Structure 1
Amino acid sequence: MKIKSLLTAAILLSVSYITPIYAQSAPNAENGAFVAVESNIDPMDSVEVSLLTCSPHEEIYSLYGHAAIRWHQGDTDLVFNWGMFSFSKPYFALRFVFGLTDYELAAYPFERFWPYYQQWGSSITEQVLNLTNDEKRTLQRLLGENLQEENRVYRYNFFYNNCSTKPRDVIEKSIDGQVVYEERSDYQPTFREMVRECNRNHLWSKFGNDMLLGVKADLATTREEQEFLPMNLMTDFAHAQIYKDGEYRPLIKEQRLLVAPGVQVIEQDFFLTPTEIAVLLLIISVCIALYEWKSSRVVKWWDVALMTVQGLVGIVLTVMIFSQHPTTSLNLNLLLFNPLALVFIPAVIKGKRNLWTKLLLVMLILYGLGGILQSYSEGMWIVALCLLIRCKK
């Protein structure tokens, strides 16, 4: 699926789409999905539980990678995937924007999981968890509870409750002891910096994300917050220890590459970048300003065009204030793109532009000062200069 429009490109999708294939039996002791034949040997001896980390590929919805849990015991080889969703559900994009999207957990054969990532050129890294048999039993119970009809659907949140944080949380709950992570003092990115890195090859997607993310996205993140990205979780798990009764043991017993990275094709975005569009607008504004200076006329249609774009984008940003996404509630882009522009269009058409000019100048000054707190989208300083040129009587 190709997402080219600004609104859809701005939607922060962090998991890969796979058609849900549910396991025929839920993973709990009652229905025997994981129960081995009775013997003197603990059936959990043969169980291997792993965290699977899939590297990103170049579809918009998979730029952030993916994570899942693998339960392998003899012929039973299941993947527990919290990243199941469907674009066909009513108002999916709108609900995602407002933070009202529901995702769900599905369990299905591992053989149905890995070929999808292989065909897209993504790698799959498996980290075998160093769990005791009792911890495996606890994890078995938790997976079964999560897979029940009333529990498997959950309210998805891009940064705080997604396909990476859900496996982490259920693994931590299963451990009898404390998981001690190695703090990464040299790695303290903001949410915006991490999202930008994932979208580095998709400038319009990065632009859209930057437009919707507000001041809170520029705050330093904690180790736990950084684990919304599966690749960060994989790194943290690799260096984590389990502490109990004065003793430590590594969280990961073995790490192996299940699927090697393949060739990925980076498809061309729109033929002009956001910066090139901004420069084009500036050139037009300068040319119109020179024409107005020489002819002593005002080109009202250009003001109306700019104000229309300001107002329409401003409506989207205003709506995001009410979204459940915590990083969109305070967005200084509203100073540059504000719905009030639509209100002043009739006055500008009538030649009464003084009040709008003063208001626009104040918003541009505040926008410039706001750059101390918020990092703006590519090309936005050029757009601000373009609007500043129009601040004349």
Structure 2
Amino acid sequence: MMKKFWLLLLSAFIPFISFSIPQLSPYAKVSLITVSPGQELYSSFGHSAIWIKDDSNHIDKIYNYGTFDFDTPGFYSKFVRGKLLYMLSVSRSDYLIYGAEQEQRSVIEQQLNMTSSQKQKLYNFLEINYLPENRYYKYDFFYDNCSSRLRDAFKAALGDSLQFKNIAFKNQSFRQLIDPYLVNKQFQDLGMDLGLGAPADRIATPSQYMFLPDHLMNAIGNATVLSDSGKTAFVARNNVLFKANQPKEESMLVTPAMVFAILLLIGGFSTFVTWKKRPQKFTMDGILFLILGLFGLLLLFLWFGTDHKVTVHNWNIIWAFPTHIIVAILLFKKKRSFSTGYYFLFNGIVVLIFTACISILPQEINMAIVPLLLLIIIRSFTLYYKITKRRNYYPI
């Protein structure tokens, strides 16, 4: 009985024995680290981390909320469906700088002006967050990511003593905020614009701007904090830990707008040349509308089959409707029903209205697809005419 008693008593103290947070020395340094955008799509928007360094206690920790585990069961499925958990990781500062050097991404340090108690509160917050039961979280690109988590950490540790100024607030949407990072990645920009729905066009608040590392860095740089000497600038000094070589700006030989314009020219020329002909099959149109229908299925999946909050209410579904798959299959046949022709008449009218109203829609549409929309309109009306007026159909 006594043995069991001592085991129970010991087990009650295990959490306190196994987890104790060191007391930072008065010389501890707390910094916000900002890594500039990289060349790959995943690194296009930069990265943020918190650095706590205390030589007296041999502490050199980079707190990074932007990591995930490739060994997670069903990794790719969870990633696509927005169910993958990201986590807080901790590493040494030299590892981060070495990685940035390899990718030629600049590293900027903002050493923060904080009291000893404020540093300790932030350190305690991060260490508790790093516990296995706390480190995982549901990642959201706009609302809960590696940058916004640091904003929230500063708020949690410093409370009302930290004041952000709204001098950089320009009344922009989330989509407008990420566009400058994709200027030289037009195909990636198009892909993101097509996948993001109307929620991406909500106007971001000054606090929400900080989901981007550059905006977090600017906000921290203009913030104030109550310290031992009163109200002071939150940033004590700025240091460039690594200066990357300026990448050469290469002009894009092929752009999405160019690709769609060429398709429009080919489709328009083909329509003109074959106007008086009576084809038995519409193979090229079948391929076009099959691709559009499959893309529409992808949009529906992003809308209803994932946990992504910003891929819902996507107006691009209007011109890429999944039912195009069915009529595309009919176009490969020698004859098709009268109703198929009227399907294309209806589709042509809908896409024409969509294109005419593109500037007033509640969702910003990438203008590179306008030639594609015109091609859909031209071929829809042409198919209506040739299927119904040229009597290449069977009644139902």
Q: State the TM-score bracket (shorter-chain normalisation).
A: 0.7 to 0.9
1:215 maps to what in 2?
A: 198
What letter matches 1:316 in structure 2?
L
Return the match for 2:118 from 135, 138, 152.
135
For 1:80, what is the secondary structure of its paired residue? Answer: strand
Give the Cα separation in 1 of the matches to 2:350 and 2:277.
Answer: 29
Cα pair distance change 1:192/1:344, threshold 3 Å? same
Tell me which structure has the larger Cα radius of gyration. 2
Matched, 1:319 2:301: yes
Runs (5+) with no aligned partner, structure 2: 1-15, 386-396
2:79 maps to what in 1?
A: 96
Higher helix share: 2
Give the Cα separation in 1 of the matches to 2:17 and 2:217.
Answer: 29
CA contact (8 A) 1:288 1:299 kept: no
1:200 maps to what in 2?
A: 183
For 2:143, what is the secondary structure of its paired residue? Answer: coil
Alpha-carbon offset, residue 242 of structure 1: 2.5
Alpha-carbon offset, residue 251 of structure 1: 1.8
1:4 maps to what in 2?
A: none
Count of matched residue positions in the alignment of Structure 1 and Structure 2: 358
For 1:57, what is the secondary structure of its paired residue? Answer: coil
Q: Compute the TM-score of the two structures, normalised by the length of structure 1.
A: 0.84
Return the match for 2:360 from 365, 368, 372.
372
Cα pair distance change 1:346/1:177, threshold 3 Å? closer
2:100 maps to what in 1?
A: 117
Matched, 1:236 2:219: yes
- CA shift digits 1:182-239 (9 cap, x unpaired): 1136623221122221111111111100111122222321111111110000000101
Alpha-carbon offset, residue 120 of structure 1: 1.8
2:282 maps to what in 1?
A: 300
Matched, 1:287 2:275: no
Cα pair distance change 1:118/1:298, threshold 3 Å? same
For 1:175, what is the secondary structure of its paired residue? Answer: helix
Give the Cα separation in 2 of the matches to 1:178 and 1:363.
Answer: 54
Matched, 1:351 2:345: no
2:292 maps to what in 1?
A: 310
- CA shift digits 1:15-46 (9 cap, x unpaired): xxxxxxxxxxxxx99756644xxxxxxx5311
Equivalence map 1:17-36=2 (5 Å): 31=19, 34-35=22-23
1:24 maps to what in 2?
A: none
Matched, 1:363 2:344: no
What letter matches 1:375 in structure 2?
E
Give the Cα separation in 2 of the matches to 1:146 and 1:266.
Answer: 40
CA contact (8 A) 1:177 1:244 kept: no
Runs (5+) with no aligned partner, structure 1: 1-27, 36-42
Alpha-carbon offset, residue 90 of structure 1: 4.9
CA contact (8 A) 1:103 1:156 kept: yes
Give the Cα separation in 2 of the matches to 1:29 and 1:256.
Answer: 38
2:46 maps to what in 1?
A: 65
Give the Cα separation in 2 of the matches to 1:259 and 1:52.
Answer: 11
Q: Percent identity?
A: 26
Cα pair distance change 1:125/1:268, threshold 3 Å? same
CA contact (8 A) 1:308 1:341 kept: yes
For 2:150, what is the secondary structure of its paired residue? Answer: helix
Matched, 1:55 2:36: yes
CA contact (8 A) 1:335 1:366 kept: no
Give the Cα separation in 2 of the matches to 1:273 and 1:94.
Answer: 30
CA contact (8 A) 1:332 1:370 kept: no
Q: Which has the higher contact order (CA 8 A, sep 6+)?
A: 1
CA contact (8 A) 1:332 1:367 kept: no
Give the Cα separation in 2 of the matches to 1:158 and 1:29.
Answer: 37
1:149 maps to what in 2?
A: 132
What letter matches 2:260 in structure 1?
A
For 2:237, what is the secondary structure of its paired residue? Answer: strand
What letter matches 2:376 in structure 1?
L
What letter matches 2:347 in structure 1?
L
CA contact (8 A) 2:21 2:124 kept: no
Q: Compute the TM-score of the two structures, normalised by the length of structure 2.
A: 0.83
Give the Cα separation in 2 of the matches to 1:156 and 1:311.
Answer: 30
Higher alpha-carbon deviation: 309-318 or 235-244 = 235-244
Question: What is the alpha-carbon root mean square deviation over aligned residues?
Answer: 2.6
1:381 maps to what in 2?
A: 370
